[in-house]
Structure formats: C-alpha cells, structure tokens
C-alpha cells in the first residue's frame, strides 16, 4: 500500500527486519506500523469480527496497528521505531496470556 521514496534508489535499505518469518527491508525513522503497510497481509485480525485491519492513525490513538513485536503482543506498532533484526508477527485476535 505504501513504498518509501528511498526504495528503488541505488542505496541499500538501512536494515532488515523479519515480518512473519520473511526478511524485509526497512528504513531508519520508520515504525513497525509503517512496515505493516508495506507487507501484504501483515495487519492485525480484529478479535471481534475476525476481519483484517491495518494501521489507521499512526499517532498512538487508534490501536489498529497492534502487532507482536519481538515476542511482545499488543504492541502499538506506530510508537515503535524499527531496529535491525526486529521480529514483527501478525496479531490474530486478542493477546494470548503467555505473551
């Protein structure tokens, strides 16, 4: 849905992150929520209707960017800057007790 204006330029991505097990390029300054908008089917699944959602507000108020980040579920993706090697997994429904 989104691409970086830096993408496609000769410069290599700033880092790689792992989204649902797949190595994915990422750029300094972007957040987990921004990555979710570039990778298909990475958004959360609503615990109420089971329908897919994607980040909506990007400023910490809507909670539609919830994701499992480095094993921590229900993380607000728009408030977390990407880091090299970060693991981002889709959040299906509510948070599990164990994580």
Give the footprint of other proteins on this chain (CB under 8 A): 1-6, 26-31, 34, 37-38, 43, 46, 48-49, 51-64, 66, 72, 74, 78-81
Contact (CB, 8 A) for 83 and 70: no
Cβ closest to other proteins, residue 7 vs residue 22 = 7
- The residue among 7, 94, 10 whose CA lies nearest residue 44 is 94
Six token digits for residue 92: 């299906």
HSE-CB of 86 using CA atoms within 13 angstroms: 25
Min dist. Cβ of residue 49 to other proteins (A):
5
Question: Min. distance of Cβ 96 from other proteins in angstroms?
Answer: 12
Q: How far is the CB of 14 from other proteins (least distance, A)?
A: 9
Q: Which is nearer to other proteins, 26 or 88 (CB)?
A: 26
The minimum distance between CB 26 and other proteins, in angstroms, equals 8
Q: Which is nearer to other proteins, 34 or 68 (CB)?
A: 34
Residue with tokens 């691409």: 3
Answer whether 87's CB lies under 8 Å from 42's CB.
no
Measured CA angle at 81 (ends 7, 91), to 5 deg: 95
């Amino acid at each position: 849905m989104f691409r970086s204006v830096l993408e496609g330029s000769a410069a290599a991505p700033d880092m790689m992150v792992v989204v649902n097990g797949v190595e994915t390029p990422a750029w300094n300054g972007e957040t987990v929520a921004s990555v979710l908008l570039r990778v298909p089917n990475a958004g959360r699944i609503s615990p109420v209707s089971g329908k897919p959602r994607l980040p909506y507000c990007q400023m910490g108020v809507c909670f539609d960017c919830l994701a499992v980040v480095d094993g921590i579920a229900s993380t607000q993706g728009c408030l977390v800057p990407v880091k090299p090697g970060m693991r981002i997994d889709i959040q299906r429904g509510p948070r599990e007790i164990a994580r």
